[in-house]
Amino acid sequence: MQKKEKNILWLSEVVNKDVLLVGGKNASMGEMYQKLTKKGITIPNAFAVTARAYRTFIEHAGIKEKMEEALQGLDTHDMDNLSTRGRAVRNLILESDFPKKLEVEIIKAYDVLSKEYKKRSVDVAVRSSATAEDLPDASFAGQQETYLNITGQYQLLQSVKKCMASLFTNRAISYRVDKGFDHFSVELSVLIQKMVRSDVGASGVLFTIDTESGFENAIVINAGYGLGENIVKGVINPDTYYVFKPTLCDGYRAKARKNKFDYRPILSKSIGTKELRMVYSPEGTSPTKNEKVPKDEQEKCSLTDDEILQLSYWACLIEKHYKRPMDIEWAKDGKEDALYIVQARPETVHTQTEEGMLTEYSLSKKGSVLVSGESIGSKIGQGRVRVIEDVSKIHTFKEGEVLVTEITDPDWEPIMKIAAAIVTNSGGRTSHAAIVSRELGTPCIVGTGNATSILKNGQEITVSCAEGMEGMVFAGMLPYKETKIDLKKIPKTKTDIMMNVGTPDKAFDFAMLPHDGVGLARIEHILINSVKVHPNALIYYSGIQEESVKNEIDEITKGFKNKEEFFVEKLAEGVAMIAAAFYPEDVIVRLTDLKTNEYSTMVGGKDFEPHEENPMLGWRGASRYYSDEYKKAFELECKAIKKVRDGMGLYNLKVMVPFCRTPEEGKKVIDLLAQNGLKRKRVGTRKGAKDLDIYVMCEIPSNVVLAKEFAKIFDGFSIGSNDLTQLTLGLDRDSSLVSHLFDERNEAVKSLIAEVIKTAHACKRKIGICGQGPSDFPDFAAFLVEAGIDSMSLTPDTVIKTRIAVAKKEGELRKK
């Protein structure tokens, strides 16, 4: 019998091209089961009740004409109309009987599956799969139902019928109308798959592309305890992990190393609240229930590092097989302590974006922040608030309003597509609200925690996802700009145009701009916003006298047994996100350049920082690193950078020493870096890919006067025009009384810059600039081109306009 004539097909019988037989989801499962299990990916076995079986059922019941009649006069914009007609069609299916032959075939296949897993009645997941599903431009994700922990013949048959009826849920009907599909050209297949016991383990979803920026080198994993429905439906705020694909795969040694990784490029781990987990229900009407997760478990990662890496490697294999970014569901069996892949479909948002075009959104002014959460996408939306806490009230929603609710599921989709923006209390970046918002191109903020209680009906708000990973809801209808950029028209330049980046959660977005790497990766933002605690307060924690300070440190570092390891981990994560975003281009990280007044504002900082009358000229940069008071803290900084390079394989990361007053100071720092595993390559030796370049900031007149001596110690220079201007003109740039004299274009400053560029080139050293001057002043950028600067590192918002100005100046010089 040919496949198309069968009512039951096993995963071993179907491949990706069998969408019309078993639906997109089931065809993909069969494809992976046959092609990828041999590569080590574990997939629970399953059989599909085919689309032919669905047709046979509808024909045997004789209800097709009645179904068509029920849908006549359908208006998907009228919620009552949609609900009434959808319910009528579903009831026609649910009240009909299966043909006896089909019942017997389903039961027989279930018995075979039970025997395979050595059970009398194996527990299964019953999943819907439509024949127009998982297309590259239409996911149909979540349109139909899934039933978990189904056991026994009666439960199984009822669940299969419910899945078939779910082809006509309100959201599925509405979605087909939007996508232009005829209701009766789409059919349903049902997958009966052995349950993975994630109820006593963990589960989640992952994408092989960053879902916000479209950055292709990152894997994003969302994870939580229990069965996966809570994450898919956005009920919980899950853990989020980012993994860098290129070095993960480069460092994988399957045969020789028994599935070990040379590099462990987990770029970041964010622990979600994970308040609930869905588990098996031993009694009651439902086969599953939610239970509270103990506080100590909430504060831990739900996956180990090894599990994160294993899932990520499998994701790379799946993406490579399908040759496109993928959206994958996974589960960890807590009884077996084993990982499984349970679904995979094409990612449907960024694969549809226009190549070479970039749209930037930015607020023209900001107002008071009402609530914040995780931003989905990078757009801005605004309108009047409509708080809806129950799906039965969605008929009150008006087009152009901002939907504010606890969570969404597919039943909310008819109004989500007419919302100006969406804000939810719960959910993460792979929750239902996030996935649908991306597909619709609607600004969305998830996981705010309290939006439904803070925001009021009729209130005018602006929802901004343009601020980075943290999305903000502002009071009022704020003005904003939308700028379209055709990247294909941006000219190339001889001068490297790099970027100044200090915010890791914007790095993936910034990397979409035309660039030659990062000339200044600032550590300071990471310390203030992610680490938050003064490093010495972590090292000498036991000696802190104030109990309130210790309590604050305990709260910040929860989940870490070792407080010094917290510092290393968080700093490494921030630096790694930037290095990965711009890989393989150079990323030059400047060692810490906080001043004493800035360090003292960190938690516990007042106990470890002296008071200085002028911190700009005091204990900062190189002099801090080798001092007895700070040396141990600097060693932690070195450990973090070493972890990014040697632990994650991000050897594009280089190091830069700020505020180095003398060559002797430079030698001390070079030696200290080497003692901590950051050894500069020997002068005159052949350079390797893993060699470390160490640069120095040129921001003190002594750096210019003694440039030849500094060139013997360092691999290159980066001009810090702010400090160089300050110290050349004798200004305190923090003083408003003399700020009118501050100008990088002053002839004295330009003379020093021209001189140091000439000296650097004579010594065969690279020299760039990372100060604010060329970002602010096109004429200053033109001067730098004339002086022969090798690179300019600019603020991201000025990269394109400055590149155009530099290209113009280079063209003029070529004509002379």
Distance in angstroms (rounded) separating the CA atoms of residues 342 and 195: 9
Report H helices in 366-431.
413-416
Residue of 316, 432, 465, 698 with catalytic role: 432
If one counts every other C-beta atom within 10 angstroms of the C-beta of residue 2, the result is: 5
CA neighbor of 597 nearest in space, from 658, 520, 524, 696? 524
CA neighbor of 207 nearest in space, from 197, 196, 194, 216? 216
Q: Which residues partner with 219 through β-bridges? A: 243
Q: Which residues partner with 192 through β-bridges? A: 47, 126
Rg (CA), the chain: 30
CA distance readout (Å), 399 to 177, 424, 432, 460, 475:
18, 18, 20, 14, 20
Residue 684: CB partners within 8 Å, gap ≥ 6? none
Distance in angstroms (rounded) separating the CA atoms of residues 120 and 110: 10
**In the structure encoding, which two tokens stand for residue 621, read together?**
């940069």
Please list, residue by residue across 17-50, b when 16 or more beta carbons sit within 10 angstroms of its beta carbon and e when fewer do. Answer: ebbbbbbbbbbbbbbbbbebeeeebebbbbbbbb
Q: Which residues partner with 470 through β-bridges? A: 374
Q: Tell me the one-letter amino acid at 140.
A: F
CA neighbor of 706 nearest in space, from 763, 623, 766? 763
Distance in angstroms (rounded) separating the CA atoms of residues 473 and 461: 7
Phi and psi of 329, rounded to 5°? -105, 140
CA neighbor of 350 nearest in space, from 263, 431, 438? 438
Phi and psi of 27, rounded to 5°? -60, -40
Task: Judge contact between 656 and 692, C-beta under 8 A.
Answer: no
Task: Judge contact between 428 and 437, C-beta under 8 A.
Answer: no
Task: Judge contact between 573 and 566, C-beta under 8 A.
Answer: no
Distance in angstroms (rounded) separating the CA atoms of residues 785 and 778: 11
Please list, residue by residue across 317-340, b when 16 or more beta carbons sit within 10 angstroms of its beta carbon and e when fewer do. Answer: bbbebbeebbbbbbbbbbeeeebb
Residue 796 preceded by cis peptide, ω within 30: no
Q: Is 770 a catalytic residue?
A: yes
Distance in angstroms (rounded) separating the CA atoms of residues 293 and 282: 18
CA dihedral over 22, 24, 25, 27, signed as positive or negative: positive
Q: Is 638 a catalytic residue?
A: no
Q: Identify the burial level of 593 via C-beta atoms within 10 angstroms of its C-beta, where 0-12 means exposed, 13-18 middle and 19 or more buried.
A: buried
Distance in angstroms (rounded) separating the CA atoms of residues 22 and 9: 8
Distance in angstroms (rounded) separating the CA atoms of residues 142 and 432: 8
**In the structure encoding, which two tokens stand for residue 506, read together?**
């914007």
Phi and psi of 814, rounded to 5°? -65, -30
CA torsion angle 621 622 623 628 (round to 10): 110
- First CA to last CA across the chain, in angstroms? 79
Distance in angstroms (rounded) separating the CA atoms of residues 594 and 527: 9
* Residue owning tokens 């470890």: 608
How are beta strands 369-376 and 460-464 bridged, if at all?
A: unpaired
Q: Tell me the one-letter amino acid at 649.
A: G
Known catalytic residues are 432, 770
